[in-house]
Chains A and B, each alone.
Chain A
Amino acid sequence: MTRTFDRAFAAGVTALAMLVPLTLAGITVLLLIDAWPALTTFGLSYFTTTVWDPVKLVFGAAAYVYGTIVTTIVAVALATPIAVGAAIYLTEFAPRPLRAPVAFVIELLAFIPSIIYGLWGMFVLVPVMRSNIEPALQGTIGHVPLVGQLFSGTPVGLDLLSGGVVLAIMILPILMAVSREVLLAVPPTQREAMIGLGATRWEAVTRAVLPYARPGIIGGAVLGVGRAFGETMAVTMVVGNSSRDITGSLFVPGYTMASAIANQFVEADTELYFSAVVEVALVLLLVAVVVNSVARLLIRRAVADRPAGAVI
């Protein structure tokens, strides 16, 4: 009797648990099937051309890939110093009673739905970018050779730079949480040894703590990349949604892969058009799997000494 129950219970738990890998397999297989016509029709030219023409049925997603890469780079470049700086401050220097509460407040940013970041981005950030920040950037760094190219053209607000800034705000909490976790996992002896040698606390942080924590912090940044490149709504609302040629400026309306899906999925009325949109999703899926595997590997190694309660 007992054994029957035990077996039935184990079977039930197993069946429910197996839904998880089955779902992952289902996602991969279904996307592959739907993307197949586009995969076979366009092959590699899908990634090397920017022509996206639903009328002539020619599809190249290079502009979407470019937009995704650019906004992600901007996001990680802006968010990493702030997140790591805050994490260092909150683990090493902030007054003790403030540490956990302030970290909690910043982590609350992760609970704001992406649609609200989008709304805020559209009505608050974009006007400020258009009339203040972008002209200021153009007036200063814009004259520097090579780098200036990034800030050429008319500041429009709804562009790749704004997309990157919104993404930076959105990945800030995860980046900070991971960095903080990793810094907390650095053995106190690392700091104590440096300070015992006569170092200041800042020197101990830069020379003994950060080198120790580096792989984990990089893991956090990679995780941030994973969040940023697949983020849909907030970016869709501020990035401009226009797939012109690749110009090299951040001040042009762009398209990311995720926003291309959001905008065109329901409109895709022919089989090949639909298939081309699904191929974008398939590429997102594959990149997500690779990026997240790398990130988790790096972070797991860095916090391996800590028992439970890891944020990720």
Chain B
Amino acid sequence: MAVRSATLSAIPARHRIAAKRRIGERIAITLLGLATLIGVVLLVTILGYVIVQGAPAINLEFFTQRPKPFGEVGGGVQPAIAGTLLLAAVSGAIAIPVGIAAAIFVVEYRTGRFAAPVRFAAELISGLPSIVIGVFVWAFLVRGVIGQFSGLAGAIALAVIMVPIVARTVEEVLRLVPGSLREAALALGAPKWKVILSVVLPTARAGIITASVLAIARSAGETAPLLLTALGNEFFSLNLLRAVDALPLRVYRYAISPYDDWHVKAWGASLVLVAVIGVVALLLRVVARQRVN
């Protein structure tokens, strides 16, 4: 404050206001930059912890062995890795077609009476806490149709979370497809289904793949709904009608345990989870690029 007033008194009176304003601006911009820095530092810190703390747990055994009871040395998270990949594949196979269909319905059949309700329902579902979706799938499938904790119930819970993400992202991409393309195809005598399948969707391909990746990346880390559906399993299992393990569930079980060794494994499983999400994004991007070529 003293420094500031000293600086100010050195300036002729009519310039003082301008100088004050300029200093105020400088301070404000510094604070704004600081806020930005906080955001970046948080990301670096959290990812840094996952890498540094998780790395010691990573070895070949970590990928190939099932979890061992406490006290036994070693063991890995192989069932959880397999489970996460299985859940991603099955939930994607359900959610991506449904999401794309919802987007087509909203954009290409927008004159229909139900276009707006579909869009609105997708928005509301995307705002639901994931634990609520878990409770629903538990009541509907785990207690009801399937009758037990199962991979299928977990995949469907994840699919419910993914559908709105796919639907809304694809919807935006479909809206970007020029109307003249549709009109040109229709003018050539193509029926509507053919216009959609061979003109609109191929034009929007890149966006559709991005939407799918986004949805899988978002859902791969979901834990709360899986606690109530897939449950977790210490044994390797790809049976969709039985309990299936997943990386987020494994992280949770290890994290809340009282053992230091398991805490290290929790960090290790987190590192694998982050890597899986990254690899999924990368792989699909490569696939997308190849198809375009």
Contacts and interface: CB of A to CB of B under 8 A. Distances in A.
Interface of A: 2-3, 5-6, 8-10, 12-14, 16-21, 23-24, 26-27, 30-31, 34, 81-86, 88-90, 93-94, 102, 105-106, 108-109, 111-120, 122-124, 169, 172-173, 176, 200-203, 226, 229-233, 237, 258, 261-262, 265-266, 278, 281, 284-285, 288-289, 291-293, 296, 308-310
25 contacts: A6-B191, A9-B197, A10-B109, A14-B109, A20-B118, A24-B121, A81-B35, A83-B39, A85-B35, A85-B36, A93-B29, A94-B33, A105-B40, A111-B217, A112-B47, A113-B222, A115-B223, A119-B270, A169-B46, A176-B39, A202-B25, A232-B130, A233-B223, A265-B228, A293-B124
Interface of B: 21-22, 24-25, 28-29, 31-36, 38-40, 42-43, 46-47, 49-50, 53, 97-98, 101-102, 104-106, 108-109, 112, 114, 117-118, 121-133, 135-136, 138-140, 160, 163-164, 167, 172, 175-176, 191-193, 196-197, 217-218, 220-224, 227-228, 248, 251-252, 255-256, 263, 266-267, 270, 273-274, 277
A27 B42 contact: no
A89 B35 contact: yes
B110 to A, nearest CB: 12
A289 B131 contact: no
A82 B40 CA distance: 11
Contact of A34 (B39, B108, B139): B139
B252 A26 contact: no
Given A115-B252, A232-B129, A82 B39 contact: yes
Contacts of B122: 20
B118 A109 contact: no
A290 B47 CA distance: 34
Nearest to A89: B32
Nearest to B28: A202
B193 A114 contact: no
A261 B98 contact: no
